[in-house]
Structures are given as structure tokens and as C-alpha cells.
Amino acid sequence: MTETDPDTPDDVLVVRIPMAAPGTAASRGPDPRVVRTRTAIATVATTLFLQQGYQGTSIDEIAAAARVSKRSVYNNFGDKQRLFTEIVLGATPTAAEFTEQLVTGLAHADDVPAALRTVARRQLAAVAQPRVLQLRRLIILEAARFPDLAAEYYRRAPGRVIDALTTAFAALHARGELHVPDPRRAAEHYSYLVLGAVLDAALFAPGTPLQTAAELDEIADSGTAAFLTAYRPKRPREGES
């Protein structure tokens, strides 16, 4: 179940928390009171973890901000570690949906340069959101404490995008639209050319103002241009001299 309203602004992180374990009576029809309590706890905990980090946030603070008892937090999520895990992984269904929308059609695009620019712009605009960047910083900060969680988040979110691009680039190589003998490496190059500078700035200088939409589009376009220069097809496309 979605823990935020679908009309929330783009810079609000969408976190989805299961309302009950599969197969339980509650999972067949969750009590609205349970839904409200879990939503309140998850929403508050997300904000506090992003602002204060895992170590800097206590169950007492979460309970007080959510206006529930500590027992309610423990009853619904078990402990702080489990709550943190559910929040981090609760952001990944949105990434999966975005990836499906992002790359759909790229492998069969008629105008490949234009399609790549569109994908780059959408990918960068989605990542360059304050709370998404905060979540990435938080996961990196806690990666040593939660290595399996960090690896799973990567697999479900950034890694999923790389996988989708790899598949699309392999198809474009087969069509002769790009020359990418190593589609995986090409997907990594493309993503870094588009995202790398913005992500580095956000990680190492978090107080730096984010770029405007026009600036992000220019970064995406120039990254795409560099990628196309490196991976242009070895033979002219049909109709080209």
C-alpha cells in the first residue's frame, strides 16, 4: 500500500509499507486503524531517518512525532532495524515502476538519439529530487552497518535501471543503431554520463542548491551526446551517406 498520497510533489519520497504479512487474516482486509498507524509511523520515521540518520533517530522520537506509543511502533514493525529496512525497501517499488516506464520502447525506437535524450532527461529529473538524494546518502552512510540492505536496494533500484538499459542497448546493437559490444558497460557509461556529476555534488556537497530543470536537461543532453559519440554505429544508418 502506498504510504503517501499519489498527488504528492515530485520531491516527496514514495515509500510503500506492507500492511500485513501475506497469508494472515489482516492481509485479507487490513484494519483501517492499523493502516493509519503504520502510515503515520512510516511517514514520520522516513523524515527523521533522512534528516538525522539511523543512529541519530530513536524509537522514542518516532513514537512522539507519530503520536503513537512506543508499543505501537514495536507491535507494527518489530524494532528500529526492521522499520528502517522496510522504509528503504519500501521505496523500491516506485523505482521498478519508473524503470518500466523509462526504458519501454527504447529498444525499438525509430529515432534512437531522441529516445536516449528523453530517457536521460527523465532519469536525471527523477533522481535529482531532494529526498531521493537524501535516501541515497543515508543508504551509503549505513552500508557498513546494513550491507545486505544496501546491496538489495541497489539491486532493486539503480541496478534495475542498469539491467533495463543493458537489455535495450543489446537490442540496439543487434539492430545496428548503436555499436555496443559490451551492453552492460555501455549502460554504466550512459548512466554515469547522465547522473554522475549531479550525484557526486549531492553526496559530497549536500548543501549545494540543486540545478534548475533547464540545467538538468542540458546535463542530460550533453551526457547523451557524449555517449552517442562513443557508441555511434560503425556503419551509416539507412539513408545516411
Q: Which residues of 94-120 are buried (b: 16+ CB within 10 A; e: fewer)?
A: bbeebbeebbeebbebeebeebbbbbb
How many CB atoms are closer than 10 A to CB 148? 9
For 59-206, where are the alpha helices, taking DSSP H only?
59-66, 70-77, 80-90, 92-103, 112-127, 130-141, 147-156, 158-175, 183-204
Burial class (CB in 10 A: 0-12, 13-18, 19+), 33: exposed
The domains of the chain, with CATH numbers, are: 26-89 (1.10.10.60), 92-231 (1.10.357.10)
Helix (H) or strand (E) holding 49: helix 32-52
How much is the mean pLDDT over the chain?
Answer: 86
- What whole-number distance in Å separates Cα of residue 111 and Cα of residue 117? 10
Give the three cell numbers for residue 90. 519500501
Helix axes 213-231, 183-204, angle to 10 degrees: 150
| Residue 235: per-residue pLDDT | 66
Q: Which residues, including other chains, have CB under 8 Å from residue 74's CB and lie 6 or more apart?
A: 59
For residue 16, the cross-strand partners are: 2
Q: Looking at the predicted structure, is the pLDDT value of residue 181 above 90?
A: yes
pLDDT digits (tens, 9 = 90+) for 192-210: 999 999 999 988 888 888 8
User: Mean per-residue pLDDT for 100-120?
Assistant: 91
| Residue 26: per-residue pLDDT | 47
User: Mean per-residue pLDDT for 59-78?
Assistant: 95
- Higher-confidence residue of 199 and 92: namely 199
User: Mean per-residue pLDDT for 113-121?
Assistant: 96
| Residue 159: per-residue pLDDT | 93
pLDDT band per the 50, 70, 90 thresholds, residue 21: very low
- What whole-number distance in Å separates Cα of residue 59 and Cα of residue 57? 7
User: Mean per-residue pLDDT for 20-41?
Assistant: 69
Q: Looking at the predicted structure, is the pLDDT value of residue 240 above 60?
A: no
- What whole-number distance in Å separates Cα of residue 178 and Cα of residue 170? 9
Give the dihedral sign, CA 167/105/124/134: negative
- Higher-confidence residue of 33 and 238: namely 33
- Higher-confidence residue of 97 and 201: namely 201
pLDDT digits (tens, 9 = 90+) for 134-165: 999 999 999 999 999 999 999 999 999 999 99
The proportion of the chain whose per-residue pLDDT surpasses 70, expressed as a percent, equals 85
Q: Looking at the predicted structure, is the pLDDT value of residue 22 above 50?
A: no
Q: Which residues, including other chains, have CB under 8 Å from residue 19's CB and lie 6 or more apart?
A: 1, 26, 27, 30, 34, 35, 38
- Higher-confidence residue of 20 and 74: namely 74
> Do residues 16 and 2 make contact, with C-beta atoms less than 8 angstroms apart?
yes
Q: Looking at the predicted structure, is the pLDDT value of residue 3 above 50?
A: no
User: Mean per-residue pLDDT for 93-105?
Assistant: 79
Burial class (CB in 10 A: 0-12, 13-18, 19+), 125: middle
